[in-house]
Chains A and B, each alone.
Chain A
């Protein structure tokens, strides 16, 4: 009966929200968020049968859906954005110098108004222009510091599945975390970790969306759902008073970076899930402040009509935003593949943030079995003191089958693996029950609007899951007094448990993060 009342209350609220929307919004508005309007999440507890792992049918379907949708919209998910080049002019370059540089490349090139949190400009040119060639030509101009295409292909580096500290969270003891908490019971309370990801389920809300028809990767037509009211609830095990600071969404250009995917929420749980409250799972630095910065779009962002997709310039702005708004640590369980040195704009943003005292943990990629391509952003991390590229190990400290290897791998952390461990091999945190969110995976006849208010403890696998372990430990180190990003990196490497070949190797880097050793420091002789 109580549940029924709750449903009625929710329906009434939704109707009210719809009325408000009808009166308060333009009829053409597709995406409306009523913040803090909505019921709390439905907590389903542990769900061991839902998993997110690289290469699963669901994972492949999501990727295929994302690609199929991109072909149907004016916001293609392409290797790089047509007609757009990211350009950093020298500071002393005059307007005439800039125009001269553009003229050398294209007669139609113009400099767009500079976006926020950018030290670079976006140059628009003919949509048919070869933007990589144009960038190369621009780089040769004396007024230009660097130029690059606006690369897309950004994606999260997850791999999900199943729950609860004593029974499910093998990953936290694996990095010697319990004894690190003994050293620092406050667990990072003075530190802010920015999570650059798909957003975070950090508050309750009610969404009004106008969902269009689309075709999936197999050509099946999914009907338009029209204007729908969608419940949204924050993850109860993340929300605490004062927890979230300076949220921003670079996909939607607003300050409400809600997660419509689940990845960002899961990653955030590993960094700072509420702990010692007798509920669910634990997080590494469970008292940190969290800065949600959304730079990655998901299927629902597409269908809801988001104006931006994840490109280098979008992510670079997210990095600069985090650095300018007080982040101490940036977690990037995201990345893209490509040739080395193909993202000067990201490298510049990372260098900028590190110069402001920000430490980075960056995923090293999940494509080991797909040719082990270079992970561009992780490779940058390996060249920056204060940023580390994180590989994944399974619960036996062995190389996780999907984790990229290469000279850029610097550290390892638990990313999980189902091979040999089944459901016991996943990294569990609270996030959406994707049976309620990923309705686009159902046949068209069963397709319905999503709901983002049903949460459970779901297992994921990936270097995305390994990375927040490092970010959490780094937050605790910074709170303990190691303020320099470069020093944090050096200590993490120096105290890591060596795995694989003696010394640094391309599979594990310097080894598995040891939270206690990193936090404990040294005495004169030991």
Chain B
């Protein structure tokens, strides 16, 4: 996880350094350009490959610890600052399992887990020049995470339908593909305590974070 974060920070810093290493005139022009712009509303769709922090927990149920999320949101850009709201969803059916002495036994009994994050993130875009093709950005925020867990073999009160809050750190770069279309690639770290670690496989594995590291692709529409 640390490796991912370092990589994300390096991408942002590197890209930001590259973007800032321009002649003074250009910087002045870019600054002026950004200040001249009003508020931009930019909707986006997103695909995510999330590596769960609760590695053993999700490997036990799904046989692997990274899963795709899909969603979308709206980004609001003002000058070099941005805010975005994003909703995504993951849903998959695996198997109930037991974990004993670091060994996992999958039991063939279906279990479906559904995670629906809703994040609000604010950040800074290193948008320093007019018509800059590559724009690094970084941000942080909070999220609320809905979690459902249900099995055909469960009684209603044995299923889980809960929601908890967490925080988000993210950084990445945005590629300008077209005047109105951009591709954002970023890494996002989330920490969501309060759902895992209290019972079930996550307790056996001593894992309490529903979040993890997500590698996100965003297709952004807007200027």
Contacts and interface: CB of A to CB of B under 8 A. Distances in A.
Interface of A: 182-183, 480-484, 486-487, 490-491, 519-526
Contacts of A487: 98, 100-101, 103, 105
A525 B147 contact: yes
Contacts of B60: 524
B96 A482 contact: no
B200 A524 contact: yes
A525 B153 contact: no
Nearest to A484: B103
Interface stretch (B107-115, B123-131, B133-141): B107-115
Interface stretch (B6-14, B41-49, B177-185, B191-199): B191-199
Contacts of B160: 523, 525-526
B97 interface: yes
Given A523-B151, A523-B201, A525-B198, 17 more contacts: A481-B107, A487-B103, A490-B101, A491-B100, A519-B107, A520-B96, A521-B96, A521-B97, A522-B96, A522-B99, A524-B58, A524-B60, A525-B147, A525-B160, A525-B202, A526-B158, A526-B199
Given A522-B98, A522-B200, A522-B204, A480 B103 contact: no
B85 to A, nearest CB: 26
B108 to A, nearest CB: 6
Contacts of B213: none
B100 A523 contact: no
A491 B204 CA distance: 11
Given A182-B153, A480-B108, A487-B105, A524 B61 contact: yes
Contact of A524 (B54, B98, B153): B54
A523 B153 CA distance: 11
Contact of A183 (B103, B106, B149, B153): B153
Nearest to A518: B98
A522 B202 CA distance: 9
16 contacts: A480-B107, A480-B109, A481-B105, A484-B103, A487-B101, A487-B105, A519-B107, A521-B97, A522-B201, A523-B151, A524-B57, A524-B113, A524-B149, A525-B147, A525-B198, A526-B199
Contacts of A490: 100-101
Nearest to A482: B105
Interface string B43-68: 00000000000100110110000000
A421 to B, nearest CB: 30
Highest count of chain B CB atoms <10 Å: which of A480, A482, A525: A525
Highest count of chain A CB atoms <10 Å: which of B109, B113, B196, B204: B109
A183 B101 CA distance: 25
A491 B113 contact: no
A235 to B, nearest CB: 32
A526 B109 contact: no
Highest count of chain B CB atoms <10 Å: which of A182, A523, A524: A524
Contacts of B101: 486-487, 490
A183 B97 CA distance: 13
A522 B97 contact: yes
B196 to A, nearest CB: 6
Contacts of B105: 481-484, 487, 521
Contacts of B96: 520-523
A410 B105 CA distance: 22
B51 to A, nearest CB: 15
B189 to A, nearest CB: 20
A482 B105 CA distance: 6
Nearest to B52: A524
A494 to B, nearest CB: 8
